[in-house]
Amino acid sequence: MPKLGLNIDKYLRTQVLPTVWCPGCGNGNIVEGLATAFSRMEVDPTRVVVVGGIGCSGRTPFYVQTNAMHTTHGRALAYATGLKMAQPDLTVVVTAGDGDALAIGGNHFIHAARRNIDLTVLLYNNGIYGMTGGQRGPTTPFGSRTTTSLAGNIERTFDTVEIAMAAGATYVARTTTFDMQEIPLRIQEAMAHPGFAVVEILTQCPTYYGSLNQLGDASDMLIWQRDLTDGVPVKMLNREELLGPLRTGVFRNEKVTEFTQAYSDLCSQVGGNYGHN
């Protein structure tokens, strides 16, 4: 990728390309961002596991040339928690969609955040269930049309950033697939952060969300994303400012005792040696 000055092919599982994703899907931008972050950090692919759930986002582990675990719907974080605890010196990145992480897997999301276990979560938010053909999800904007809300969505919308912060995540950021240069930066920060790190990435689904809501093609939707977000990255905002649901930037970056470290300390207290393989 010349514009980033890096060869990211090393971190792509090229033999399984093309992806299952539709033309114009934003998920490819996120994969590029992830591979770019891996490349800049020069990670050892055998020491990284990308864990995915079910849905469009859950396919990400197949496309990056690291260890890959494609799990069950909603449970990626629970699998990742066991994996990280078993081998704490592995780098574990979880890719989950809005439906996967906030509907069927909402409970695991808040509890993994509460533990502050050292996982990096890339939460792909396209506001819809893409893999099953465009149904309403927990982040579908109020009033939007989906195949299960053709007359408009009457349910209120989850704010990923608010939930992550309330549940105790210690690094919380939001970006969009419009902000191509920002995605790898946020992923690098999240991976370097010792604790539960959430990067919500707004990503376009022109096939379902776009067409059902007359938002045009992929490039029109990228402009729509730019206009929805204020374009001003935030460092820290007060609570009232945070209520604007589509601000981007880093909302929290705090050092709080990380869970595998707390567990290691607990073992030491009772005479155990929590193995780092």
Say if residues 55 and 97 touch (Cβ distance below 8 Å). Answer: yes
Of the pair 168, 216, the CB lying nearest another protein is at 168
Least distance CB 167 / another protein (angstroms): 11
Q: Minimum Å distance from CB 256 to another protein?
A: 19
- CB 144 to another protein: min, Å: 29
How is residue 216 written in tokens? 């045009």
Q: Please, what is the minimum distance in Å from the beta carbon of residue 190 to another protein?
A: 20
Tokens linked to 49: 């596991």
Minimum distance, C-beta of residue 32 to another protein, in the bound complex (Å)? 19
What residues make contact with another protein under the rule CB under 8 A? 13, 16, 45-47, 49, 51, 61-62, 65-72, 74-75, 77-87, 89-90, 107-108, 111, 263, 266-267, 270-275, 277
CB of 234 to another protein, least distance (A): 31
**According to the 3-state scheme, what is the secondary structure of 50-81?**
EEECCCCHHHHHHHECCEEEECCCCCHHHHHH
In degrees and rounded to multiples of 5, residue 227 shows phi and psi of -75, -30
Q: Nearer to another protein by C-beta: 73 or 226?
A: 73
Least Cα distance to 181 among 218, 221, 233 occurs for: 233
Q: Nearest 5°: phi and psi at 144? A: -70, 155
In contact, 189 and 250? CB cutoff 8 Å: yes
Residue 214 or residue 277: which is nearer to another protein going by CB?
277
Q: Cα dist. 205→23, 88, 218 in Å?
A: 9, 35, 8
Distance CA 168, CA 249 (A): 18
Instruction: Let me know the angle formed at the C-alpha of 74 by 11 and 80, rounded to the nearest 5 degrees.
Output: 50
Between residues 81 and 95, which has the closer beta carbon with respect to another protein? 81
For another protein, which is the closer residue by CB, 63 or 209?
A: 63
Rank residues 10 and 255 by Cβ distance to another protein and give the closer one: 10
Shortest Cβ 191–another protein spacing (Å)? 17
Report the residue number, 73 or 252, with the smaller CB distance to another protein: 73
Q: Degrees (nearest 5) of the Cα angle 192, 198, 203?
A: 115
Phi first, then psi: give them for residue 200, nearest 5 degrees. -85, 130
